[in-house]
Chains A and B, each alone.
Chain A
Amino acid sequence: MTASTPRLMAGPGRGTVALGDHLALHGLPALESGLGAGALADLAERAGLRGRGGAGFPTDRKLRALAEARRAPFVVANGSEGEPASGKDRTLLTRSPHLVLDGLQLTALALGAERAVVAVRAGAGSARAALATALAERTAAGRDRVPVEVFPVPAGFVAGEERAVLNALAGGPPLPTVRRPWEGARPALVQNVETLAQLALIAAHGADWFRAAGTAAEPGTTLVTLDAAVVREVPLGTPLSELMPGASDANRGASDANRGASDANRGASDANRGASDAHRGEGDANGGAGVRALLVGGYAGGWVDGAAAGRVRLLQADLRPLGATVGCGAIVALPAGSCGVAETVRLMRWLADESAGQCGPCLYGLDAIATALEPLSAPRRPREDPLPRVRRWCGQIDGRGACRHPDGALRMLASALRVFAAEFDDHVRHGACERCAAPSLLPLPAHAATPEEVAA
């Protein structure tokens, strides 16, 4: 298999990659011989693999921490994907379930786990069907030594959080819990499904092969969800302008050719980077025009000014300084002419309502912020400037939840206050604009995480 994209999504046709095709593409003899925890962690470290669920934690460090656990851990492939703007986990499970299951199996064998679980969003019918078919194929072929269960996780923004998934698996509600440091971490490894698929690819094709895409610091490809609709696999370091929905297909084709060319003299990664540098110039020229801003990294990510999209690559190194993150790779474009204030206020309200309601600062704090901001895009103009209050509250709430939900919401808000500074100023002075009433561009599904859904 070549090192160019697609990797995760490789395979004939558009449907689920069957076991036979999967073996032809990736083989993965390591699964038969088995890798020790140390060897697997070394491999992940050499490849520079980081978690693809949102937090971006180095995979090798997670593996090593669990290798030291006294009791045999159990391993969870987290595909619960509570983020409404993301569909990549479900797409991956539908397209390449065997890569995910290989990664899960490798990890479970390395850690001596007796139990492996794939957590899937309860509503994700096609992903669950593909998984069921894949598991049946593998059972018939005798590929899995550690038994695998599929566990449906109810919808809900915080239900996909690592400890919420573990809590649900333990028979509790899908809500985050507090990790009490003195209790000793429950020996469980939760990895995003894409991370496990990437790990399987690395085990099959090698760390150097993995590093042929992306940058030296942030290697590999990643799945992105564009406008909550299209899932693509792109190398890390791809300029945002190229990912913007609306960027011309010609442009995209050119860049693919570009990558193919550099692929030929792979190893000369400088050439690769040079090519993508050249490409960035192009992106600048025809990006930006129709897009006011991009929400990068999902709803807990950050807004990036559309004008900067050509200069910013899909890298933590580029996004962190802007207060954004690669996150789960969800990118939503806000077209020029739409109102960033109204979108931000609606999103803030949604995130406040998605609080699990367990921690006071998150429940009351996010609600207070959303309530203070709502007059900005409401028909009646605000009586006073809510922003000083909101800024003070942001400073109080950060880091005070059991999970990172409030922190993510505040990150999004802080970036909005920067990117839409002029618009916020205008709304504070004059109230709602004529575009405030336009329907939301971001999918904001109604509350769902009821216990009945778990059963469904």
Chain B
Amino acid sequence: MSRDGHQAERLEVDPIACAGHGLCAELLPELIELDDWGYPLLANGGEVPPELAALARRAADACPTLALHRLRVAAAAGVGRATP
């Protein structure tokens, strides 16, 4: 995880990989709800508040198709980088 423990994190869905299993919405209902076809809708642009970081990680790990990505939000341009 991040060194300072406070680095902003953002979730992003790979829409091609996502098959709508919906585990993410079960694990992280605070940020993810499902549309009428079972595909995830991210609240707040996918931004993860620090207190939900652990759950976000669990949701990303649980995704059967690994379609939910956690991106570190760079301070400047908002360009994300994956956290493994």
- Which residues of A does B touch, CB under 8 Å? 177-178, 180-182, 358-362, 364-365, 368, 393, 396-397, 400-402
Q: Which of B39, B71, B80, B81 sits near A360, CB closer than 8 Å?
A: B39
Q: Which of A359, A365, A368 sits near B16, CB closer than 8 Å?
A: A359
Quick one: closest A residue to B13, CB to CB? A400
- Ordered by A's residue number, 23 sampled pairs between the chains whose C-beta atoms are within 8 Å are A178-B16, A178-B17, A180-B14, A181-B71, A181-B80, A182-B71, A182-B82, A359-B15, A359-B16, A359-B18, A360-B37, A360-B39, A361-B15, A365-B37, A368-B36, A396-B35, A396-B36, A396-B41, A397-B35, A400-B13, A400-B41, A402-B14, A402-B15
- Could you say which residues of chain B place their CB within 8 Å of the CB of A181? 71, 79-81
Question: Given A182-B81, A358-B15, A402-B14, 5 more contacts at CB 8 Å?
Answer: A180-B82, A368-B37, A396-B36, A401-B15, A402-B15
Report B27-52 residues with CB < 8 Å from chain A CB. 35-39, 41
**Most-contacted residue by chain B among A358, A361, A402 (CB, 10 A):** A361
- Could you say which residues of chain A place their CB within 8 Å of the CB of B13? 400
Contacts A182-B80, A182-B82; A360 near B17 (Cβ below 8 A): no
The 7 closest A-B pairs by CB, nearest first: A359-B15, A364-B37, A360-B39, A182-B82, A358-B16, A396-B35, A402-B16
Report B57-77 residues with CB < 8 Å from chain A CB. 69, 71
- Could you say which residues of chain A place their CB within 8 Å of the CB of B71? 181-182
Do B79 and A360 touch (CB < 8 A)?
Answer: no
- Could you say which residues of chain A place their CB within 8 Å of the CB of B79? 181
Secondary structure dominating the interface of A: helix
- Could you say which residues of chain B place their CB within 8 Å of the CB of A402? 14-16
Q: Which of B15, B17, B80, B82 sits near A400, CB closer than 8 Å?
A: B15
- Could you say which residues of chain A place their CB within 8 Å of the CB of B81? 181-182
Q: Does B19 contact A (CB under 8 A)?
A: yes
**Most-contacted residue by chain B among A360, A368, A402 (CB, 10 A):** A360
Do A361 and B37 touch (CB < 8 A)?
Answer: yes
- Could you say which residues of chain B place their CB within 8 Å of the CB of A360? 15, 18-20, 37-39
Do B39 and A400 touch (CB < 8 A)?
Answer: yes
**Most-contacted residue by chain A among B35, B69, B82 (CB, 10 A):** B35
The CA of A368 and the CA of B35, in the complex, are separated in Å by 12
- Could you say which residues of chain B place their CB within 8 Å of the CB of A182? 71, 80-82
The CA of A181 and the CA of B83, in the complex, are separated in Å by 12
| Distance in Å: Cβ of B40 to nearest Cβ of chain A | 9
**Most-contacted residue by chain A among B20, B38, B39, B80 (CB, 10 A):** B39
Do A361 and B35 touch (CB < 8 A)?
Answer: yes
- Could you say which residues of chain B place their CB within 8 Å of the CB of A396? 35-36, 41
- Could you say which residues of chain A place their CB within 8 Å of the CB of B35? 361, 365, 396-397
The CA of A178 and the CA of B66, in the complex, are separated in Å by 14
Interface string of B1-25 (1 = CB under 8 A from A): 0000000000001111111100000
| Distance in Å: Cβ of A352 to nearest Cβ of chain B | 13
- Could you say which residues of chain B place their CB within 8 Å of the CB of A401? 15
- Could you say which residues of chain A place their CB within 8 Å of the CB of B19? 360
The CA of A339 and the CA of B79, in the complex, are separated in Å by 46
- Could you say which residues of chain B place their CB within 8 Å of the CB of A359? 15-16, 18
The CA of A359 and the CA of B41, in the complex, are separated in Å by 13
- Could you say which residues of chain B place their CB within 8 Å of the CB of A365? 35-37
Do B15 and A178 touch (CB < 8 A)?
Answer: yes
